[in-house]
Structure 1
Amino acid sequence: MIRIPLLALLGVASSPAVAQTPPPIVAPTLPAPTVQPIPVPPPPVPIPALSPAQEAWANDWLRTGAAQGLMARQKASGPLSGDALVNALLDRAKALNTGRVDTADFLQVWALRPAAFDPRPGLAKAVGEDRLAQWSASLTPPWSGYDTLRKGLARYEAIRDKGGWPTLTASTPPDVVRARIALEDPAVTPNEKLVDVIQRAQRRYGLEPTGTLGARTLEALNVGVDDRIAAIMANMERWRWMPRSLPVNRVQVNIAAAVLTVFEGDQPVSSMRAVTGSPTNQTPMLTSSIHSIVVNPPWNVPMSIAKRELFPKGRAALARQGYKIVKTPEGGERIVQPAGPNSALGRLKFDFNNPFAVYLHDTPSRGKFSSYDRLASHGCIRLEKPVALAELMVAADPDLNGQIQTLIDEGKTQRVSLPSQVAVYLLYWTAFANNEGTVSFRADPYGWDKLLAQKIEASSRRVDPTAAPSPAIASKD
């Protein structure tokens, strides 16, 4: 047997007569670390000094904040000059272009965010070229929806300044009812039938046009003028969050009115009733793009709904209703409703990326579409005419054009990619006006109008510390 000395196995010489010094350990040479310079932001664009005439114009313009819905009443203030005037102009420009309320103060579900905007370059150029009036006109949203609300705001401010309107009851004399409605609707004539006057008012409020003064009609007519002004202000602010250009082909959902509108070539071509989120399951405001349609979709029940509404029913009841309980990779359980005629998602689901897991979909429950109260979903949008919408979206694909119902009838779950993605906007409009400034209102089911109006007023006071809170929408906290 050959014995190998232990020291040899360890790589050390076995002879005690020879002392070996291990080689020195030399650290590897590493390249010198690269120092990344910290980017230095460019200096702010300098603003030329304003001439006396420009200062006078600028101070007059700053007094128009109430007319733009940036405050409930115009605040009295002395003339500004120098840096104070420039800062006020920059602040007003930003407020008109992207909103009075900073996005840091948004609710999470207000996911429609305005684009970043730096007003300094535009102001500097306007001062240098003596074009302040043209510059100011370019700041407000370019949409007619904003401009018509501005006209409506002027009408309601005039009503407020004259003392508002009386409170109506079921026994109010007809001439008083007519005069009350005429304050908001200049189309009212002395000889018009009162039932027609009331029906037109009911349509403006999104109510069933019965022509009689029922409880809900009286409630709408008795909303205070200050609250109507607050609603107009809130909707003008939301217009300021909108992009300055929109895709010419798009789908828009008015959450508050529960209506979906399809635009082609920037013109509305069709609309349908929808069911949107209940006040406890709010549909978020957002923009995204519909990329595909799932035909015969199963419903993977969100865990929040499963825990709150389905698991308490018990497994036997869920099985009788067609639900399946499946294991998750984490060892838990979730509920799935298989595709079929009774699936909560119906036969079609329109998918678009968003952090709230909401989408458009069909529904087997059709009764709600005939109601004037259609805020009843868990946050997704149920559609009255989903097949028609799907056909519009796939019409450019010759293999899919006219085939949606055929795919449904096959009974298979399959995903259909759209020929091109379709922009979708989920918006919250509770006030909108015609070209004459006659405003239609919808209820504020989520309470966002009053909250946003208070945030607008609070932001205005932060900019102008001398301004007193408006009695119209001051917070009661």
Structure 2
Amino acid sequence: MTASHFSVFGPSVARLLGSLAAGSLVATPVMAQIAPPSVPAPAASTQTQTPSAATVQPLPQTAIPASSVAMPTLSDAQARQLETLIAQGEVTQGLRQGPPRDLSGLSATALTRVALDYAHAVHVGRLDTADFTKDWGIRPQAFDPLPGFADAVRRDRLADWVASLPPPYAGYDALVKGLARYRDMAASGGWSSLPSTTINFGASGPQVVALRKRLAMEDPAVSATGERFDDDLLAAVRRAQRRYGLNPVGTVGGQTIAALNVPVSQRIRQIMANMERWRWLPQQLEAKRVQVNIAAAVLTVFDGDNPVMSMKAVTGRPGNETPMLVSTIRSIVLNPPWNVPSSIANKELWPKERANPGYLKRAGFRVIDNGDGSKRLQQSSEKSALGRFKFDFPNDFAVYLHDTPAQSGFSKFDRLASHGCVRLEKPADLAALMLKTTPEWQPTQVDAVLSSGKTVRASMAEPVAVYLLYWTAFANADGQVGFREDPYSWDAQLATKIEARSAERAQANTN
């Protein structure tokens, strides 16, 4: 890490290289400031100062806004060009499962409606506001496609207008290529399921032949012929395991076979769902930001266009999902006590005290009277489940990033185990980076407070945007896709919603 990290930031860039290694989301687009309404900061310990309210992303309507621009008149040539562009784009941009639609029979008015609906869907997403669940705390910005469309018709630049609509991110472009690859696989018949039998290095026979054939579908470096599990096949198995976020041990066991047996049609829907989430992001990201891939349980820090730090995380287990959201980190609590959410206290801690009196005291919990007959629990900073660092940011879900004394969780490949907050593998490194430009909170001062055991809130000179995102499919520049499981079933929900809205809009626009 150089001395310039998190100190000087140049202009943001609309499109940058994106990649993902071993589940680490390492480059997504650079975003500009989002101008949002303020919301109350999360509840702070009675021993710390509550930070001022900060801004989070607004929740605009996703319907196409009214426009004062007059509807343009298409020439016959423009109408034919638009029919082709839209029919092809619906497929390539993941808005349609089947073959391209035949739009040749539409009137000019109906075709214009289809074009505007397509533009809105590709630019900011297909969903309506009512389709978003509570935990999908990111919303697309409002977008009126009519002015751009009218200008494109006037200047006869329809192809350029259509090309400008998708999200301006290399990560999205890579998924477009990946979607085309998986559609080709589906068109060729997809793949057959492998039997649920462990295959070890050195094995030979029909199972190895089937394994080679299956791996070759997604990995062009694999030879599809050969009956022996040799060194080349071992390397291919490990590549596949890394693409699926599995431990790359090389042995083909139950988890690997389950990942390989996911049908190609399901992989296509998974890619389409992740493409939709890209559309919810603004056209630019803050240059200075922290991103968490919830599904991969990885945190990455960006300085401008470059990832400068990455670490393992522990995110919410199914049932205690970590929400998708955008906010801003303005301060770090050192030696934070844990104000236990009532849901955790009632479900886990009070029962332990009843079963084993004295448990709460031994674990460092204080019982605090709320003054209304109810009680709450607070765990002292010496034994806090939050460790030594808590990274606060305003949000409606009472989640945050934090340290943890339970370091063993980071050695696992499946790291969805929290109650919804994000536990960090290297919180001290993250704190040092984020406080680098704050003179009063250099390492010496931070270490002194940590040693004292006192709870202190360190305000940052430069706020940092934080994004909690749910990526389960991501691709390299060649369109080779890496997948993660859909632990919250959000991919399946989203794909179903996209398909339903697409069918609904197609019916409405062609009538």
TM-score, normalised relative to structure 1: 0.87
In the alignment, residue 102 of structure 2 is paired with which amino acid?
S
What does residue range 410-421 of structure 1 map to in structure 2 within 5 Å? 410-421=452-463
Task: Supply the distance in 2 between the matched residues of 1:137 and 1:269 (Cα, whole angstroms).
Answer: 31
Task: Provide the alpha-carbon RMSD of the alignment.
Answer: 1.6
Deviations 1:369-426 (A, max 9, x none): 0000100000000000000000000111232222333321121100000111000000
1:184 equivalent among 192, 202, 218:
218
What does residue range 27-38 of structure 1 map to in structure 2 within 5 Å? none
Confirm or deny: 8 A CA contact 2:114 2:506 kept in the other structure.
no
In the alignment, residue 434 of structure 2 is paired with which amino acid?
M
2:343 equivalent among 286, 292, 304:
304
What does residue range 434-449 of structure 1 map to in structure 2 within 5 Å? 434-449=476-491
User: Which of the pair has more CA radius of gyration?
Assistant: 1
In the alignment, residue 222 of structure 2 is paired with which amino acid?
V
Deviations 1:299-318 (A, max 9, x none): 00011111111112225322
Would the alpha carbon gap of residues 351 and 215 (structure 1) be closer, same or farther in structure 2, given more than 3 Å must change?
Answer: same
Matched, 1:96 2:138: no
Partner of residue 467, structure 2: 425
Shifted more, 413-422 versus 324-333: the winner is: 324-333
Task: Supply the distance in 1 between the matched residues of 2:243 and 2:143 (Cα, whole angstroms).
Answer: 35
Shifted more, 402-411 versus 331-340: the winner is: 402-411
In the alignment, residue 86 of structure 2 is paired with which amino acid?
L
Task: Supply the distance in 1 between the matched residues of 2:453 and 2:304 (Cα, whole angstroms).
Answer: 34
The number of residue pairs the alignment matches comes to 426
What does residue range 374-453 of structure 1 map to in structure 2 within 5 Å? 374-403=415-444, 404-453=446-495
Task: Supply the distance in 2 between the matched residues of 1:203 and 1:78 (Cα, whole angstroms).
Answer: 42
Partner of residue 377, structure 2: 335
Task: Supply the distance in 1 between the matched residues of 2:164 and 2:506 (Cα, whole angstroms).
Answer: 24
Partner of residue 455, structure 1: 497
The structural deviation recorded for 1:321 is 1.9
Partner of residue 55, structure 1: 79
Confirm or deny: 8 A CA contact 2:298 2:310 kept in the other structure.
yes
Deviations 1:271-318 (A, max 9, x none): 000000000100000000001000000000011111111112225322
Task: Supply the distance in 1 between the matched residues of 2:161 and 2:67 (Cα, whole angstroms).
Answer: 22
Task: Supply the distance in 2 between the matched residues of 1:229 and 1:204 (Cα, whole angstroms).
Answer: 16
Deviations 1:30-53 (A, max 9, x none): xxxxxxxxxxx9863112210111
The structural deviation recorded for 1:357 is 0.5
In the alignment, residue 78 of structure 2 is paired with which amino acid?
Q
Deviations 1:244-292 (A, max 9, x none): 1011111000000000001012211110000000001000000000010
Partner of residue 92, structure 2: 67
Partner of residue 244, structure 1: 283
The structural deviation recorded for 1:75 is 5.1
Task: Supply the distance in 1 between the matched residues of 2:279 and 2:497 (Cα, whole angstroms).
Answer: 14
The structural deviation recorded for 1:189 is 4.3
Partner of residue 169, structure 2: 143
Confirm or deny: 8 A CA contact 1:207 1:217 kept in the other structure.
yes
The alignment partner of 2:440 has SS state of coil
Confirm or deny: 8 A CA contact 1:206 1:441 kept in the other structure.
yes
1:224 equivalent among 263, 271, 277:
263
Matched, 1:255 2:301: no
Partner of residue 127, structure 1: 153
Bigger relative contact order, structure 1 or 2 (CA pairs below 8 A, ≥6 apart): 2
The alignment partner of 1:415 has SS state of strand
Task: Supply the distance in 2 between the matched residues of 1:458 and 1:42 (Cα, whole angstroms).
Answer: 24
Where does the alignment leave 5 or more consecutive residues of structure 1 unmatched? Answer: 1-40, 468-477
The alignment partner of 2:311 has SS state of strand
1:215 equivalent among 247, 250, 254:
254
Shifted more, 176-185 versus 398-407: the winner is: 398-407
> Percent of counterpart pairs with the same letter?
54
The alignment partner of 1:464 has SS state of helix
Task: Supply the distance in 2 between the matched residues of 1:200 and 1:50 (Cα, whole angstroms).
Answer: 50
The structural deviation recorded for 1:466 is 9.1
Matched, 1:165 2:201: no
TM-score, normalised relative to structure 2: 0.81
Task: Supply the distance in 2 between the matched residues of 1:52 and 1:117 (Cα, whole angstroms).
Answer: 27
The alignment partner of 1:334 has SS state of strand
Confirm or deny: 8 A CA contact 1:44 1:120 kept in the other structure.
no
In the alignment, residue 316 of structure 1 is paired with which amino acid?
G
Confirm or deny: 8 A CA contact 2:67 2:144 kept in the other structure.
no
The alignment partner of 2:468 has SS state of strand
In the alignment, residue 47 of structure 1 is paired with which amino acid?
M
Task: Supply the distance in 1 between the matched residues of 2:170 and 2:403 (Cα, whole angstroms).
Answer: 32
Matched, 1:371 2:423: no
The structural deviation recorded for 1:330 is 2.5
The alignment partner of 1:237 has SS state of helix
In the alignment, residue 203 of structure 1 is paired with which amino acid?
R
The alignment partner of 1:146 has SS state of helix
Task: Supply the distance in 2 between the matched residues of 1:195 and 1:73 (Cα, whole angstroms).
Answer: 36
Task: Supply the distance in 2 between the matched residues of 1:43 and 1:390 (Cα, whole angstroms).
Answer: 46
Task: Supply the distance in 1 between the matched residues of 2:67 and 2:132 (Cα, whole angstroms).
Answer: 29
Task: Supply the distance in 1 between the matched residues of 2:294 and 2:118 (Cα, whole angstroms).
Answer: 29
The alignment partner of 2:386 has SS state of coil
Shifted more, 263-272 versus 435-444: the winner is: 263-272
